[in-house]
Structure 1
């Protein structure tokens, strides 16, 4: 076939826009179709902002499964389950239980860490091509163990991370205080922590919008407020997407629209390979006592990070579909953060930004990257809580298959 190859990407979140960039680099003429009115309006909008490659571990594990009943009963844990979502995702749940076995959890985490390592390098290379301002900062990330047993279990995972090439260390409580002195007066006890000094933070939404603007100037066509109705197939090959009566023709189609991707992919339709994992965030003006290091409290499922002149507080793991933010759940993560660091943010600010987003999660925590049915149809979706961390590497992998 002569001329420039064409591609349609469905979805303009961080995964879709980085995929567009990767295809442009390989000589494709790209069109991005997005149902929302602008880029990064879904799971990319106000996520945890943490580029935490060494912490990309599979959700399903024996430890997670053993703790699940207790966490569901403990309202302070931040873990909850919508009955309607559970019923709608029975096939997903059965597969998830299978992936919680020790051998599967280890294999899934190894695969995630390998992709995360690739993604960290891919993001650096992308930023050399596209210098962007998005409050990126190498903050280091400290995962705080609530007790000695949790510290021991976390320490046992260090070899996985070291084997993947990451610099990560187990720190005693006193060593944690040296890394983040603000912990001296913290409101919760902790026994130690896992520290990754090279981990960074950055505003995923600002990055995605900035990259989309640069790509548009370079010739990428963005069609916002446009819902794809179906994949157009001719002679067993995807030839574009159908938008109402219009056909957006292309040589290849990439589904990067997260939770909605299986609707358009015949191979996955009806099998529920992606379930919704809802998360919450609040973004507040920075306070005088804000920690410098990015912090995670796994017991209460809350993370804090300094993002420019703001404090981003995120948390909860709720298996539920899209919906309005729960004020009760927002209040919970704010109360936890306030107890940890009373002066980390202006907790009484009237201009705080509250958000609820749904992370598309697969049973094995691994994103689906590759062919998705008819020839010419591909998928890059299902990144769970690591979409920001894995986006650049996932785009690179997908592009290498074309």
Structure 2
């Protein structure tokens, strides 16, 4: 079967890999010059299967009001002049209740845990290198209120059999020795041993190389222009002045899925939530993170690569324009200086910003559309790499007509159609 994947980020390349593995002829189309040069380029670097948590949660409206008044807020809101931004916000706030949170958390953990298994299989099969580590995630809490709020997340972890350990401040240094000096600043922590870390950009490049070995064709520097369709079926896509025809199509365009699908009359509730990161050369290995540390107060993750620290976080709702705000850099520097002041050389840090494709319920959109041969794999928010292989395998199975290994009926775009 001929299948076209739109998008060469980690979601698109993962989808292409599983399609090629199943014996299909795959073409990947992307406007960029290479794979993983946008959202997948410099993300926080964590594979947070256990930390999978919706942004839309009970109490978020009240927290957001307070965050917006803070100089180092994890949330930044700037009107972009679109009605869609306001509609998306309204939909997101409608999910900030216990019932929706539990439902969305369950969906997300389902995909993330499946992705964890897919990573295990892929690494065993290929030995793929991406500076990966398997030493867990440490979610640190600076207040007792944050510790109490984590109890709800632990209930879902129990349901899925995800191992964890709730720690006292004095126990944190067992997993992150360099945090011993700041234990007095903490109220507790949650350790998730099954989580991992690594360089998403390196992972995607190396996986794309394996795809090429299996015959996948990558068409770069080709912006999508229009679709040919009739009778509820896509017949071709035009990109970069060329017509591409296939039996099936998968949209994995991240934050740009919404404008690309609008021509087809598909209303994707995917908003570009801007995030920022610093990549810092390590100067003292013993004073740097061992794996991933997530600061719950600032919503910032600090991840260890081989010789670098990746610090990423924040959610800025300001449209598609990418800029490097000095204030956002100050927040990232504040956190790394507070927790790992001797770990790296901030003077040589690389500052980056990218767009995460976020849905109002934080759950990705994976599955069929009203076009019989068009499928979605988008809207992963801040967990695109974490969910990449799981959602890629699921999307590939659905597009190819195979029977998926996990439940998927509540992940498609149809959940937004009333």
Contact kept, 8 Å, 2:288 with 2:343, in 1: the verdict is yes
3-state SS of the aligned residue for 1:83?
coil
Moved more, 149-158 or 355-364: 149-158
3-state SS of the aligned residue for 1:364?
coil
Tell me the residue number matched to 2:233. 237
User: Measured at CA, do residues 52 and 43 of structure 1 come closer, stay the same or move farther in structure 2, by a change above 3 Å?
Assistant: same
- Tell me the CA shift for residue 287 of structure 1: 2.6
- TM-score w.r.t. structure 2 length? 0.91
Tell me the residue number matched to 2:387. 390
Structure 1 residues without counterparts, runs of 5 or longer: none
- TM-score w.r.t. structure 1 length? 0.94
Contact kept, 8 Å, 1:81 with 1:318, in 2: the verdict is yes
Moved more, 231-240 or 20-29: 231-240
Report 1:1-400 matches (<5 A). 5-84=1-80, 87-186=83-182, 189-265=185-261, 269=265, 271=267, 273-288=269-284, 289-320=287-318, 321-349=320-348, 352-400=349-397
3-state SS of the aligned residue for 1:53?
coil
Q: Distance in 2 between matches of 1:198 and 1:311?
A: 20
Q: Distance in 2 between matches of 1:244 and 1:336?
A: 43
- Tell me the CA shift for residue 263 of structure 1: 2.4
- Tell me the CA shift for residue 187 of structure 1: 8.6
Aligned residues: 396
Contact kept, 8 Å, 2:49 with 2:194, in 1: the verdict is no
Contact kept, 8 Å, 1:8 with 1:240, in 2: the verdict is no
Q: Distance in 2 between matches of 1:290 and 1:244?
A: 45
Moved more, 26-35 or 237-246: 237-246
- Tell me the CA shift for residue 202 of structure 1: 0.9
Q: Distance in 2 between matches of 1:334 and 1:187?
A: 19
- Tell me the CA shift for residue 85 of structure 1: 6.1
3-state SS of the aligned residue for 1:136?
coil
- Deviations, residues 251-287 of structure 1 (Å, cap 9, x unaligned): 0011000111122335984745011111111111113
Contact kept, 8 Å, 1:240 with 1:253, in 2: the verdict is no
- Tell me the CA shift for residue 70 of structure 1: 0.2
3-state SS of the aligned residue for 2:354?
strand
Q: Distance in 2 between matches of 1:309 and 1:17?
A: 26
- Tell me the CA shift for residue 87 of structure 1: 4.6
Contact kept, 8 Å, 1:119 with 1:393, in 2: the verdict is yes
- Deviations, residues 56-90 of structure 1 (Å, cap 9, x unaligned): 11110112222110011112223111111675412
3-state SS of the aligned residue for 1:291?
coil
Moved more, 289-298 or 230-239: 230-239
Q: Distance in 1 between matches of 2:268 and 2:249?
A: 21
Q: Distance in 2 between matches of 1:144 and 1:101?
A: 24
